Amino acid sequence: MKYKGRIVTSLLVFVINVIDNALIFFIDGSLSWIELIGFPILLPIAWWFGKQYDKAKFYSENDPLTGIYNRRYVESAFAAAKTRSEHKDQSFAILLLDVNDFKSVNDHFGHKTGDEYLILITNQLKNSVRKTDIVARWGGDEFLILSPDIQKKEELDNMLARIHDNLKLQSFNNINISVSIGSAQYPNDGKCFDDLIKVADKNMYQMKSQKRLRDTVG
């Protein structure tokens, strides 16, 4: 959780207190003990109000289960990524991920275990991407990765390989952890958020269908 609200409210109280005391001293030539202890008294109050703001902002942008960003934050982050890409003439990618066989995990082990399963996958996704990439829970057992400055197909392929490889290395109740991933690239696959999501979603379900076919044949 960021400290922006707490820092801003504390600085605001500090500045107001300094200005107020300076004016009183300029007019009266002295300060009473009430003016002198005003800031120490008001600081905890300002800090508390700032903390409430920080908490509200955190929960409006983050998924309560996994702690990563939520759909609302991604939609605003997309606008910023699009602006940067247009200014720098660069492309970026959106990855949509669906956890394979998640319903079976919930049915056999219960929803609490299903939540732990999603948290484990979340941690591996964060370990598989760059610091500049945004990992978000899109909803249910779906995740979204907003990856800025993806210029070459090889860069995207390397990221997909890292995700699959890191998940394969994990063990969870003897379950083979895997995801189906569909990607879309701005601006080649679309220039608005909804169009890119549709392309990524279509590609994701093609991958999921291919996996089911392989499992059936196997």
Domain boundaries, the chain: 4-61, 71-217
Q: Does residue 40 have a cis peptide bond before it, meaning omega lies within 30 degrees of 0? A: no
Phi, psi of 3 (to 5 degrees): -105, 15
* Contacts within 8 Å (CB) and 24+ apart, 128-134: 128/159, 128/162, 128/163, 128/166, 129/159, 129/162, 129/163, 130/159, 133/159, 134/69, 134/73, 134/74, 134/77
Which pLDDT tens digit goes with each residue over 13-65?
677 766 765 665 567 766 564 555 666 777 777 767 777 666 777 677 999 99
pTM: 0.79
Q: Is the pLDDT of residue 98 over 80?
A: yes
Give me the amino acid identity at 3: Y
CB-based contact 83:92 (threshold 8 Å): no
Distances (CA, A) of 191 to 16, 43, 78, 82, 155: 46, 47, 11, 8, 20
DSSP state of 172: B
> In the chain, how many H helices and how many E strands?
8, 4
β-pair partners for 195: none
For domain 71-217, the CATH class is: alpha beta
Q: Is the dihedral of CA 52, 56, 62, 64 positive or negative?
A: positive
Q: Edge-to-edge strand order for the sheet containing 142-147?
A: 134-139, 142-147, 92-99, 179-186
Give percent of the chain above pLDDT 90.
54
Residue 129 to residue 92: CA distance in whole angstroms: 14
pLDDT, position 18? 67
The 10 Å CB-count burial string (b at 16+, else e) for 22-41 is eeeeeeeeeeeeeeeebbee
Q: Tell me which residue of 111, 7, 109, 126 sits closest to 67, measured CA to CA.
A: 126
pLDDT, position 36? 56
Q: Is the pLDDT of residue 216 over 80?
A: no
Average pLDDT over residues 193-210: 93
**What integer best gives the mean pLDDT of the chain?**
85
pLDDT, position 20? 60
